[in-house]
Amino acid sequence: MTDGIKSSDGGGTKASTVREVIPKEKDLLEFTPDLITKHFPRNVLGYVTPKLKMDGLVLEIWRQTPAQLHPLLVSFLSRFGQTARQNNFEFILVIPPPSVHEDNEDSMLGYFTPQNFQSLLSDVTAFSFMTYDFSSVAKPGPNSPLPWVQGCIKLLLSGIPEGDQVMMHEASSKILVGLNFYGMDYTATGGRPILGRELQNHISDAENQLEDVQVHFSDEAVEHFFSFREKGQQHLVFFPTVHSIQARLQLATSFGVGIAIWELGQGMNFFYEIGLLRRSADMEALYHQTNHMVDETQASFVHLEKAVGDRALQVESEIQARIDKITSNCERLEVLVHKEVPTRRQNAKLRLDQLKYDCQHLQAALRNLQHKRYARERELMEREELLTRRFTPNDQSDTSVLIDYALQQHTSLQNTNRGLDELIGSGTSILSNLRDQRTSLKGVQKKVLDVANMLGMSNTVLRLIEQRTYRDKFILWGGMLFVCLFMFLVVYYIL
């Protein structure tokens, strides 16, 4: 790990001849006690990221660590990733591929294994897989043979349980396959890396007289290489081309993994347009495919209007399936539009909006036709029911039909009201008669008392007469209450 803080301006690390190494111990084994401390990851993130104003860290430490320390290193990297996630920092771990020239279990000794990958999967943002430097000066050859890259990806994913699509998708999305933009120039005395600008200047320099220039393509490695003689020395140059880069991009797409370029500025300038052109081509193909589906769906509506019965249901299902596919394609196109270059993004967005409008129009038209079909089927059902209904004569001789129930109810209410009025009138006359009788009885009582006094009747007879008077009063009030209760019951139950 190098310390570039002193040479940083906040936007990146400037070139500097002064480099300091952290940790500053001569032996890495002396540094291991610091790895197991809980505060080390937080101290590193707190010391480096705020000063450099970075979004995260890319850490290359696995290949530099002895194999016997790898279990301890896994624990440290897990804690480091958790600390980075808690502080909203990205953490990318650089991992080496297995031994390139051995094909046995010992080739994985000391390298990043599938078990290590599973242990750190949830704590690391992404894994930068160094799938390059396949060949060396001792054994010249292609930089990154395509079958070897494919085997490295399969080996790293071999620890994921088969059938667990969720975990496989998560694991694939965190792998960044290394894509070299540099080349290798091999000679009889050795070899060295060669950059794009060096190769371009080397070829265009008039003083360099190249002889016996031959361009070759390795079908096995899917890489171009060329040989030439310069100043009596034979050169063999392996350098990436548009074809080789596209083949590796297709491989990454098939596995659902990402790409890590090693590194920006080392290749040709047109290398950066390959991904954009490929994405634009994919978006263009998807757009034309979706537009063709829109035309086919519109043509299917003509068949739907003529179809009846089960055939109509079948055509509706086909149209709905196409509309769902168009909607799915629009969602994919929306993702691609946001990745398009700004100069083309506006036009692409307008075309996408037109597709979305057409899709909504098709869905509305399908619902309208379905509603018409439902209404037509309901009418046919009702018509068939009326045509098949049978009418039978009544068993009774009386064939009169009761009509105008409201008028009959009104007449009944009027009769009831009239009866109540008559009943109330009768009650009133009865009360008047009772009142007159009371007055007459009082007069009779007084006359009887006067006669009794004149005749000299005893007090006992007079008291009996008074008691009879009280009883007659109770009979009077009881009769009145009975009449009122009877009238109330008549009103309550009849109305």
pLDDT at res. 416: 86
What's the CA angle centered on 294, arms 290 and 300, to 5 degrees? Answer: 140
Mean pLDDT of the region 36-50: 58
pLDDT at res. 425: 85
Is residue 202 situated within a structural domain? no
What's the CA angle centered on 340, arms 334 and 346, to 5 degrees? Answer: 75
Residue 76 predicted with pLDDT over 60: yes
CA distance 265 to 179: 13
Residue 417 predicted with pLDDT over 80: yes
In percent, the amount of the chain with pLDDT more than 70 equals 78
- The listed range with the strongest mean pLDDT (6-10, 189-193, 261-265) is 189-193
Residues 258 and 143 in one domain: yes
pTM of the model: 0.53
Residues 301 and 326 in one domain: yes
Mean pLDDT of the chain, nearest integer = 79
CA distance 438 to 138: 146
Residues 67 and 160 in one domain: yes
What's the pLDDT tens digit per position in 353-400?
A: 999 999 999 999 988 988 888 888 888 888 888 888 776 665 555 555
The CA-atom distances, in angstroms, between 33 and each of 7, 38, 76 are: 29, 11, 11
Provide the CATH number for the domain around residue 382. 1.20.58
Q: What is the DSSP letter of 99?
A: P
Q: Is there a contact between 243 and 271 (Cβ–Cβ < 8 Å)? A: no
Mean pLDDT of the region 326-347: 82
Give alpha helix (H) positions in 190-270. 196-204, 242-255
Residues 25 and 157 in one domain: yes
What's the pLDDT tens digit per position in 218-235?
A: 999 999 898 888 878 888
Residue 95 predicted with pLDDT over 80: yes
pLDDT at res. 123: 93
Residue 435 predicted with pLDDT over 60: yes
Residues 53 and 121 in one domain: yes
Residues 380 and 447 in one domain: no
CA distance 271 to 3: 31
> Which of 336, 367, 386 represents a domain boundary (last residue)?
386
CA distance 5 to 137: 35
The contacts found for 320-329 with CB under 8 angstroms, 24 or more apart, are 320/366, 322/293, 322/296, 322/297, 323/297, 323/359, 323/362, 323/363, 323/366, 325/293, 326/290, 326/293, 326/294, 326/297, 326/355, 326/358, 326/359, 326/362, 327/359, 329/286, 329/289, 329/290, 329/293, 329/355
pLDDT at res. 17: 43
Residue 257 predicted with pLDDT over 50: yes
Q: What is the DSSP letter of 110?
A: T
* Sheet order of strands, 258-262 included: 56-59, 90-95, 126-129, 175-180, 258-262
Is residue 212 situated within a structural domain? no
Residue 41 predicted with pLDDT over 70: no
Before 66, cis peptide (omega within 30)?
A: no
pLDDT at res. 411: 83
As for how many domains the chain has, the answer is 3
pLDDT at res. 462: 66
Tokens 């002396």, located at residue: 30
Is residue 338 situated within a structural domain? yes
Residues 481 and 346 in one domain: no
Q: Which position has the higher pLDDT, 219 or 103? A: 219
Residues 72 and 119 in one domain: yes
Phi, psi at 39, each rounded to 5°: -90, -10
Provide the CATH number for the domain around residue 123. 3.20.20.80
Mean pLDDT of the region 138-148: 92
Mean pLDDT of the region 200-205: 73
Q: Which position has the higher pLDDT, 209 or 238? A: 238
Residue 15 predicted with pLDDT over 50: no
Residues 486 and 424 in one domain: yes
Is residue 231 situated within a structural domain? no
Choice among 113-127, 136-150, 372-386 with the minimum mean pLDDT: 372-386
Q: Copy the structure tokens of residue 313.
A: 């249901």
Mean pLDDT of the region 298-318: 84
Strands 20-21 and 90-95: unpaired
> Which of 344, 365, 386 represents a domain boundary (last residue)?
386
Is residue 285 situated within a structural domain? yes
Residues 441 and 357 in one domain: no
What's the CA angle centered on 7, arms 5 and 13, to 5 degrees? Answer: 80
Mean pLDDT of the region 407-431: 84
Is residue 220 situated within a structural domain? no
Mean pLDDT of the region 17-22: 46
> Which of 369, 386, 403 represents a domain boundary (last residue)?
386
Mean pLDDT of the region 409-430: 84
pLDDT at res. 44: 62
pLDDT at res. 6: 43
Mean pLDDT of the region 185-192: 90
Residue 309 predicted with pLDDT over 80: no
CA distance 450 to 184: 156
The backbone region for 88, taken as left when phi is positive above 0, alpha when psi lies in -120 to 50, beta otherwise, is left
**Residue 142 pLDDT class (50, 70, 90 cuts):** very high
Phi, psi at 236, each rounded to 5°: -130, 110
pLDDT at res. 105: 46
Q: Residue 134: how many CB atoms within 10 A of its CB? A: 22
Please name the helix (run of DSSP H) or strand (run of DSSP E) that holds residue 94, with its range, or none: strand 90-95
What's the pLDDT tens digit per position in 443-488?
A: 887 887 777 666 665 667 667 777 777 788 888 888 888 888 888 8
Residues 441 and 370 in one domain: no
Residues 9 and 91 in one domain: yes
pLDDT at res. 263: 78
3-state SS of 385-404 is HHHHCCCCCCCCCCCCCCCC
Q: Is there a contact between 56 and 50 (Cβ–Cβ < 8 Å)? A: no
Is residue 462 situated within a structural domain? yes
Residue 153 predicted with pLDDT over 90: yes
What's the pLDDT tens digit per position in 155-179?
A: 999 988 887 888 888 899 899 999 9
Q: Which residue segment(s) compose the domain that 258 sits in?
A: 2-181+245-268
Is residue 163 situated within a structural domain? yes
pLDDT at res. 94: 94
